[in-house]
A = this chain, B = another copy of it.
Amino acid sequence: MNALKVETEQKIINAAQEIFIEKGLQGARMQEIADRAGINKALLHYYFRSKEQLFDAIFQGTFQRIIPQFAQILRMKTKPEEMLQALLEFYNNFFMENPYMPQFFFHEIWQNPDRIAGIIKSQAMHPEELVATLKDKLPPLSDSAFFPQHMMANVMGMLLFPHIARPLFQRLFFNNDDQQYNLFLAERTEFLMNMLGGLMGGHSVDLSNAPDENF
């Protein structure tokens, strides 16, 4: 029966998603995926010939849940503050609900960067366009040739760090208290907006006085 087939496939996908994201391709066990899906190993191979293929399907799927959003925000023809707000809000919430995602992506970034780059470029999301948009919309706070890249690295770094470093950061600075940490994460969008809002408006931080002091 076709409905049953679809249902089973979905159970597999859900289970595999969890396991792969927690343990990565290498760490995941087909047995564990089968168990969590409530079926047996043989059936896994019936639906997805190999572990690799299963992984590919999962990976592509999860990735496509977050990239289009990025492209869409990028094309919002509004003020940079609003783009930033939308960006921070969406991804911060997404990572709060999917805490394993960031480490999952970074793992893949190192294992197979070409695959990810390929997926991104196939999503109507073009890096040059992004750089150009930033150069155009941001006040010229620095004359570095890499100014847009720096700003991207800043935003993404500040956004991602509390999520990707969570297990350690929470232990060290929050008494390993889940609730406290969630509060911290929840208020982070606002905190970052406060910090960055000024920058994007083009006032506030003076970047022209280079610190050539003994360095």
Q: Which residues of A contact B (CB under 8 A)?
A: 22, 24, 26-27, 85, 100, 103, 106-107, 109-111, 113-114, 116-117, 120, 127, 130-131, 141-142, 144, 146, 149-150, 152-154, 156-162, 164-165, 167-169, 171-174, 183-184, 187-188, 190-191, 193-195, 197-199, 204-207, 209-211, 215
How many copies of the shown chain assemble into the complex? 2
For this complex, 8 residue pairs linking A to B, each with C-beta atoms less than 8 Å apart, are A24-B24, A114-B171, A149-B174, A153-B169, A157-B161, A190-B211, A197-B211, A198-B205
| CB within 8 Å for A107 and B109 given contacts A184-B146, A197-B211 | no
Contact A168 B113 (CB under 8 A): yes
Contact B172 A127 (CB under 8 A): yes
A124 CB → nearest B CB, Å: 14
| CB within 8 Å for A149 and B184 given contacts A156-B165, A161-B160, A211-B197 | yes
| CB within 8 Å for A153 and B162 given contacts A191-B144, A195-B207, A211-B190 | yes
A202 CB → nearest B CB, Å: 13
Identify which of B153, B183, B190, B210 contacts A210 (C-beta below 8 A): B190
Which residue of A142, A156, A157, A174 has the most chain B CB atoms within 10 A of its CB atom?
Answer: A157
Closest B residue by C-beta to A27: B26
| CB within 8 Å for A165 and B205 given contacts A117-B172, A195-B154 | no
Chain B residues, CB < 8 A from A116 = 168
The CA-CA distance from A113 to B199 in the complex, in Å, is 35
The CA-CA distance from A168 to B154 in the complex, in Å, is 16
Identify which of B113, B127, B158, B159 contacts A167 (C-beta below 8 A): B113
